[in-house]
Amino acid sequence: MIIRVHELPVRKRYPLRISRGTSAGSDNLLVEVEHDGVVGLGEMAPYSGGAVAQTPELARESLAAWAPRLEGLAPWEMQAVEAALDEVGGGVAARAALDLALYDWVGKRLGAPVYRMLGCDPARIVPTTVTIGILPPEVVRERVPEILARTGARALKVKLGSPDGLEADRAMYSAVREVAPPEIPVRVDANGGWTVDGARSMMAWLAERAVEFVEQPLAKGAEADLPAVARGRPIPIYVDESCSVARDVPQLAGVVDGVNLKLMKAGGIREGLRLIHVARAHGLKVMIGCMGETSLSIAGGVALSALADELDLDSHLNLLPDPFEGLRMVDGRLLPSEAPGLGVRRAQPGEEEANR
């Protein structure tokens, strides 16, 4: 197979502020895998907060290092590809982009959407949340109704863990619940911005205010303190930054209630499936989330989404414009395309304009 890498810069409609900082956009990469006249597409979205910052530079270096090892392989030879990548080493987000391109290629070659190749049942796809970044209450009151109306989403994820402290978190959450219709479920994500005491206090407070659950209360690396937060918890706890690959799951079982799978952390669909299977064997719930991805990578998450209990696949809805199209939002549920592979294509210029 031949691998080509292209720039895929994306700009956010609304900058996203979380506990660790603010993002107004990112230099994503588009990865093309060509073999036997068929081209598969994948995407890398940069992020920090893991063990190694997944920068576009690291991704380009990784893909360049892998390319000569992959020349003699066909895209369906995924086990051999994984073995080559393990030997060479490299960035996990680049690995995800390559994995997505391989699945897209195989689906296009076989004439089947990836979700079908995985045997997934779209009827089981639950509504996705859209994310409200850390904002002052007065902005929340305008932003929440606009986002719900524009995206068609029917569930919210609220970023807490504000550097301004728990008072700011409480003010923001109250503003969200004030303007969100009561039938809209709301969950919160602290992105590791709380202490043990802060987490216990916020979880007790949130439990009385119609929250579904909390995500990543403590920072990555503070997993030893999770039992202190989890003991007698009034609401379920999911972890995100604390869980990237299947091997991270066993030590979290019995401590938390669920894990947030992101393809950019796991390294793609193949490891994503493994993570889901391990979580299930331990009785853990599974959420599928995303980084700052276009519809292309999001389509990879959607291909798996029937296997998840909770979905937070919304980053493409906050892009100006989303350079890909093909996914559909129906009654708040993000559904896969019936086109082969990941089922997305470059957005037409006119449609991009219309999305602005």
Q: Does 304 bind its own copies (CB under 8 A)?
A: no
Q: Tally Cβ neighbours within 10 Å of residue 236.
A: 18
Determine the size of the site formed for its own copies (CB under 8 A): 31
Q: Does 119 bind its own copies (CB under 8 A)?
A: yes
Q: Is residue 80 helix, strand or coil?
A: helix
Q: Does 250 bind its own copies (CB under 8 A)?
A: yes
C-alpha distances in Å from residue 281, one per residue of 251, 253, 274, 275: 13, 10, 11, 10
Q: Does 246 bind its own copies (CB under 8 A)?
A: yes
Query: Which residue among 111, 232, 349, 350 contacts its own copies (CB under 8 A)?
Result: 111
Q: Does 249 bind its own copies (CB under 8 A)?
A: yes
Which among 110-118, 189-197, 201-209, 343-351 is the span making contact with its own copies, rule CB under 8 A? 110-118
Nearer to its own copies, 133 or 340 (CB): 340
Nearest to 85 by CA among 222, 77, 8: 77
Q: Does 306 bind its own copies (CB under 8 A)?
A: yes
Phi/psi at 78 (nearest 5 deg)? -70, -35
Q: In this structure, are residues 287 and 238 in contact, taking their beta carbons and an 8 Å threshold?
A: yes
Least gap, CB of 138 to its own copies (angstroms): 45
Nearer to its own copies, 134 or 269 (CB): 269
Query: Which residue among 196, 253, 329, 339 contacts its own copies (CB under 8 A)?
Result: 253
Q: Tally Cβ neighbours within 10 Å of residue 34.
A: 15
Nearest to 178 by CA among 153, 209, 148, 200: 209
Least gap, CB of 170 to its own copies (angstroms): 38
Q: Is residue 45 helix, strand or coil?
A: coil
Nearer to its own copies, 79 or 331 (CB): 79
Query: Which residue among 6, 11, 280, 328 contacts its own copies (CB under 8 A)?
Result: 280
Q: In this structure, are residues 40 and 104 in contact, taking their beta carbons and an 8 Å threshold?
A: yes
